[in-house]
Structure 1
């Protein structure tokens, strides 16, 4: 409640777009009650959710001593991102149904969802791995962007990304995980389907061994549109060899992450 809403430092941040809500919730004692009230009276709950996310990211960066967007800029930056999303939002019913079908979805309670992706930078002889771990509320637990030498095939990049995702989740102590990637061949191979390339075998074997580190694990396919954050993190590795974020993502990834939150509405 204090970190996201009642702290005096946040008054100006919230009053830009939600001054009336701030006044209406002066007697609320929990943030869940603030959310309930926002659902009733706020016409732009998506914008409200984006501001909440930006404030949470700001707290984490300040706590870790990282460069953070000034609080005074949060209202304008989140509003711009929200407006862009509104312009991109499909209006035709069929298109909307398709968008909902491929959106990122929350994992069940007690589980985290680990999304991974790979990217190839052929000109530089490099590849990138992107991983994001989110909890049952959609909040970021951790994210990773890593540069690796270019393997012999695109399929190997994806399999290595899947393996790194499991190692990353294990390193952070997560016990119940749902792993998602947007390569059909990779997901089929991990789940025991026909293996077209024997060169992938040793990595797939490592993945199978990692399964025993978790009390619950499932590996699923997700369309690229639902895997955008991991994709952006993988592409980011072209300039940075290795970066990890705890309970946050880099500022240039934040907008894509917030769009995932909006699509959950």
Structure 2
């Protein structure tokens, strides 16, 4: 339907991976715009290559016989640095534009983004207007650190992604870490599910589960328990406080 897809969910549920997988299925590039506090239009659209412009000016100055150059020549396509949104407009063929973690940007950036998403056109005053022959597939992700503008939501198909259940997580681990056997994958998935029920500073996502399973497989462990789990705990616990909360689950019995 040529409309964006808005994916929301906790960090680590695989929202970004949806865009990567979709780009592989379509056979085109994934163009990623990583949002952050303070991002503005120039960082999302385009900038001028000032270093190259200065080199061109110096070249003109050294060429004493060439006095017909103008400042306007410094603002041509060869000096234009494409940022993700302009690249997504100018690129041809199947492609995925990932606008990642839009909730990190300011409200004003939502309004700017609406203008681009409405017709997928970008105007560069010194050159002209670029319009996409065929709009890209747009994936917008949010971790819900703030509410996105209603106008953004109205233009998108909304989908919530939750953490997978134990069976699905075990399948993901086996797919992404072929060296992990079924028993270890299922044991890790069960342990991760238990950790997500704890009051941790950072809830482990699928990436942490995969890394943890790989680490224990390298140690020759068959289950997520005991010394192997404790030695590799840094793959799932990302703060000192979380480490001390988790350790009792895997401490070996004494005596």
TM score, norm. by length of structure 1? 0.24
Question: Higher helix fraction: Structure 1 or Structure 2?
Answer: 1
The alignment's TM-score, normalised by the length of structure 2, stands at 0.24
Q: Which has the larger radius of gyration?
A: 2
